[in-house]
């Protein structure tokens, strides 16, 4: 092998100028083991011209004149050494402040400047510290819903820049990766000045890489965005931030938890992780990936239509349903019902026009402006499934008299009472890692949960809390939006999850905690989200009494169904339905409930994964519908369903200031499981800075 290949095999790199200098001596006056040993003593894994000259000088070799000699020193062994770059990549209830509860009867690093980053349209480069060369870093892109590759062929290499690696802050890798490394699909790692080397020579994820070996490493996030981090090279004591490892709360001595004596009674009625998808296969070797994607989405909408038809047929007012293709066989004066996806809608001078499609055909549907039902025009989002009752004109237009939304039944069967009161706490959008995270308020909440209450009313509430549900955005994440790095108190995704777990471990053991992902979490970006990526959020999976759920999920608590979703569909509701805003999220949630779908519109703000089955349909009416995402606490009741947006634990960010969102942080809604209604709201916002 050449010197370059030998070095890459051992997780080292060499600049072109250093290669030209050393290659004349390699194998004749020194061996690979000597060179690696020298580089290790200098704490470097990139051999540049300066280091090469120092190495030759240490051997008393002149520069440019290859001496005569036997070569490798006897007994010198070749060792595999290197520096590992590990990823560190986000009703009538009175709300009162803590202690006044009323219960109703019903950072950056200085060394960044020493690490210049160069980039171009076709490839991303990070300086090696040698002004004459850069290292090209390969990147890959990942489709929606795919798995990230923890180690690619090739790697991401950070300049030593004359700085000792042990002294680098862990956020250096984040700063240089986020916003500086565009994705690419190249299969080679090349050194500039025309020196090309096949990246397979560098053992990233190949057979030469061992789990306990030390070497450069890169992890790619969603859509091929590379995220590089530093972990073990930074001593824990030198981090400028806390991961709350020293925060420990014990249950108050003598405090009586009545919930301990109440038997656990919960089950996951629906969880995306349990859904088995059968992905279509190409008919032959000439098939294209694009054809498969089209087929997958075709199956996706067929699945939605099939489920929605079943829901609409449960409405006793919907009858005489006929396929669109069979309308030509129906008399002009005969009332029939069609059910289909709304491809588009528009307002005309005399009324409203829809284009509706089912599995058999497409037709235009018109409803007169004078008809009272026409008001539902504004509640219908694109790609919703709606039923229309009326008459077919025979000229390709269906004149509707009645519009049926899927909706939830007006009346629900009463469920048997529980023997004893049991409560659940609903939270979302904790955003651990943000410099706006209300850490003091959250710590005070955990103390309160451990019995540090102010009065008898609070004691009664805390003693009966049996469940805790967290609906996404548990950490702030990394690289979620431009400029986020400047708003991170913990710039390491691994440390963010460690900090979260260090806080949640203080939840009393008798409380079962359900935790689902949101758009800031280390999870699939598109909906639905099956869960967290374990390689990032591993501490969560080790948390006692914690149950990882998907987004969405349905949890049955003592016979009551709680629909838990992060709530991204609210964004599209605000865009399409008049008089709906982020300031009143419960109203937007109501629109989703009426359409019986968590993200009805395809191709807008909410990304939807190309799964062959639509798992975002609300197939059964829940007792409670919880969401978050918009950071504003709001709730209401509709047709027996309690809807609640559970706010946040993050003070107002700069982005929220720009879009005029005023969050309501550090509020704890307590739900009476028996009635699936709000029992009380306890406020800790007085401990939240910036509120």
Residues 60-81 have a mean pLDDT of 44
Does position 75 have pLDDT exceeding 60, yes or no?
Answer: no
378 and 427 assigned to the same domain: no
pLDDT digits (tens, 9 = 90+) for 567-596: 999 999 999 999 999 999 999 999 999 999
The Cα 650–Cα 336 span in angstroms is 52
Does position 367 have pLDDT exceeding 80, yes or no?
Answer: yes
SS (H, E, C) 88-129: CCCCCCCEEECCCCCCCCCCCCHHHHHCCEEECCCCEEEECC
Q: Is 36 helix (H, G, I), strand (E, B) or coil?
A: helix
389 and 450 assigned to the same domain: no
pTM, to two decimals: 0.68
8 Å CB contact between 176 and 117: yes
Residues 87-100 have a mean pLDDT of 44
pLDDT of 474 reads: 98
The Cα 461–Cα 423 span in angstroms is 8
pLDDT digits (tens, 9 = 90+) for 283-314: 555 556 566 667 778 889 999 999 999 999 99
Specify the higher pLDDT residue, 290 or 73: 290
Residues 15-31 have a mean pLDDT of 81
The Cα 592–Cα 567 span in angstroms is 10
8 Å CB contact between 622 and 657: no
pLDDT digits (tens, 9 = 90+) for 351-366: 999 999 999 999 999 9
Cβ neighbours for 556, distance < 8 A, ≥ 6 positions apart? 266, 267, 268, 269, 562
β pairing state of 624-627 and 633-638: unpaired
pLDDT digits (tens, 9 = 90+) for 430-485: 999 999 999 999 999 999 999 999 999 999 999 999 999 999 999 999 988 888 88
- Residue at a domain's end among 348, 369, 404: 404
326 and 475 assigned to the same domain: no
396 and 510 assigned to the same domain: no
95 in a domain, yes or no?
no
Highest mean pLDDT among 137-141, 203-207, 620-624: 620-624
377 and 427 assigned to the same domain: no
The Cα 557–Cα 626 span in angstroms is 14
- Residue at a domain's end among 356, 376, 404: 404
Specify the higher pLDDT residue, 333 or 282: 333
Tell me the torsion sign for CA atoms 66, 70, 76, 78: positive
322 and 449 assigned to the same domain: no
310 in a domain, yes or no?
no
pLDDT of 19 reads: 80
pLDDT of 116 reads: 34
Specify the higher pLDDT residue, 49 or 677: 677
500 and 383 assigned to the same domain: no
390 and 515 assigned to the same domain: no
398 and 453 assigned to the same domain: no
Q: Give the largest Cα separation in the chain, rounded.
A: 105
Tell me how many domains the chain contains. Answer: 2
Of 208-217, 352-361, 617-626, 630-639, the range with the lowest mean pLDDT is 208-217
61 in a domain, yes or no?
no
pLDDT digits (tens, 9 = 90+) for 128-139: 333 333 333 333
pLDDT of 157 reads: 27
467 and 569 assigned to the same domain: yes
pLDDT of 134 reads: 35
Residues 135-164 have a mean pLDDT of 32
Specify the higher pLDDT residue, 163 or 428: 428
657 in a domain, yes or no?
yes
Domain that holds residue 398: 316-404
* Both tokens assigned to 151: 């180690």
pLDDT of 47 reads: 85
pLDDT of 210 reads: 37
pLDDT digits (tens, 9 = 90+) for 501-534: 999 999 999 999 999 999 999 999 999 999 999 9
Instruction: Please report, for the domain that includes residue 343, its CATH number.
Output: 2.40.50.140
537 and 634 assigned to the same domain: yes
- 58 pLDDT band, cuts 50/70/90, is confident
Residues 225-234 have a mean pLDDT of 39
Instruction: Please report, for the domain that includes residue 628, its CATH number.
Output: 3.60.21.50
> Whole-number mean pLDDT of the chain?
78
167 in a domain, yes or no?
no
440 and 381 assigned to the same domain: no
Does position 682 have pLDDT exceeding 90, yes or no?
Answer: yes
pLDDT of 284 reads: 56
Does position 175 have pLDDT exceeding 60, yes or no?
Answer: no
pLDDT of 289 reads: 58
147 in a domain, yes or no?
no
Q: Give, in degrees to the nearest 5, the angle at Cα 271 between 270 and 274.
A: 110
């Amino acid at each position: 092998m050449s010197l370059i290949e030998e070095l890459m095999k051992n997780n080292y790199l060499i600049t072109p100028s250093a290669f030209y200098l050393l290659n004349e001596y390699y194998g004749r006056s020194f061996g690979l083991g000597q060179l690696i040993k020298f580089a290790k003593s200098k704490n470097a894994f990139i051999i540049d011209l300066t280091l090469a000259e120092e190495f030759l000088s240490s051997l008393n070799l002149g520069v440019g004149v290859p001496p005569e000699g036997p070569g490798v020193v006897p007994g010198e062994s070749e060792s595999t050494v290197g520096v590992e770059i590990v990823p560190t990549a986000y009703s009538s209830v009175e709300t009162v402040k803590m202690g006044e509860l009323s219960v109703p009867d019903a950072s950056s690093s200085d060394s960044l400047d020493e690490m210049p980053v160069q980039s171009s349209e076709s490839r991303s480069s990070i300086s090696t510290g040698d002004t004459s060369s850069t290292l090209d870093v390969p990147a890959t892109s990942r489709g929606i819903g795919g798995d990230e590759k923890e180690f690619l062929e090739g790697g991401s290499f950070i300049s030593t820049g004359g700085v000792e690696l042990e002294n680098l802050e862990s956020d250096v890798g984040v700063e240089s990766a986020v916003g500086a490394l565009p994705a690419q699909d190249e299969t080679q790692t090349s050194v500039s000045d025309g020196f090309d080397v096949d990246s397979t020579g560098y053992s990233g994820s190949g057979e030469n890489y061992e789990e306990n070996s030390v070497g450069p490493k890169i992890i790619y996030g969603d859509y091929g965005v590379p995220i590089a981090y530093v972990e073990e090279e930074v001593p824990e004591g030198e981090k400028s931030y806390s991961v709350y490892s020293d925060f420990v709360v014990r249950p108050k001595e003598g405090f009586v938890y009545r919930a301990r004596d109440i038997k656990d009674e919960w089950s996951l009625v629906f969880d995306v992780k349990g859904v088995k998808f059968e992905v279509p296969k190409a008919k032959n070797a000439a098939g294209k990936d694009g054809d498969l994607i089209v087929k997958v989405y075709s199956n996706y909408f067929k699945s939605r239509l099939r489920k929605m038809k079943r829901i609409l047929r449960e409405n006793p007012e919907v009858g005489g349903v006929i396929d669109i293709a069979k309308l030509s066989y129906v008399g002009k004066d005969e009332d029939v019902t069609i059910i289909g996806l709304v491809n588009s809608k528009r307002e005309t001078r005399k009324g409203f026009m829809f284009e509706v499609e089912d599995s058999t055909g497409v037709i235009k549907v018109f409803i007169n402006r004078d008809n009272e039902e026409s008001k539902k025009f504004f509640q219908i989002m694109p790609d919703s499934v709606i039923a229309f009752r009326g008459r077919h004109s025979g000229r390709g237009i269906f004149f509707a008299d009645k519009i049926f939304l899927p909706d939830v039944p007006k009346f629900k069967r009463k469920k048997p009472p529980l023997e004893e009161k049991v409560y659940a706490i609903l939270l979302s959008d904790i955003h651990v890692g943000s410099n706006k995270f209300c850490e003091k308020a959250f710590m005070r909440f955990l103390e309160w949960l451990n019995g540090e209450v102010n009065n008898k009313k609070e004691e009664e509430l805390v003693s009966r809390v049996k469940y805790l549900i967290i609906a996404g955005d548990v950490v702030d994440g990394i690289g979620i939006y431009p400029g986020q790095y400047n708003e991170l108190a913990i710039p390491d995704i691994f440390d963010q999850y460690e900090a979260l777990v260090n806080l949640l471990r203080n939840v009393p053991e008798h409380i079962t905690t359900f935790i689902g992902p949101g758009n800031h979490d280390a999870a699939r970006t598109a909906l639905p989200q099956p869960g967290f990526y374990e390689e990032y959020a591993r501490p969560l999976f080790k948390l006692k009494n914690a149950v990882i759920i998907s987004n969405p999920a349905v949890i049955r608590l003592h016979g009551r169904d709680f629909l838990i979703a992060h709530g991204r569909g609210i964004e599209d509701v605000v865009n399409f339905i008049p008089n709906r805003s982020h300031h009143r999220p419960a109203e937007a949630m109501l629109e989703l409930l009426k359409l019986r779908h968590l993200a009805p519109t395809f191709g807008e703000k909410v990304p939807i994964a190309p799964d062959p089955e639509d798992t975002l349909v609300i197939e059964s009416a829940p007792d409670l519908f919880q969401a978050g995402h918009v950071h504003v606490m709001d709730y209401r009741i509709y047709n027996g369903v309690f809807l609640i947006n559970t706010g946040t634990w993050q003070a107002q960010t700069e982005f929220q200031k720009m879009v005029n969102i005023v969050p309501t942080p550090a509020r704890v809604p307590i739900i009476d499981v028996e009635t699936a209604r709000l029992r009380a709201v306890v406020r800790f916002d007085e401990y939240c800075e910036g509120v």
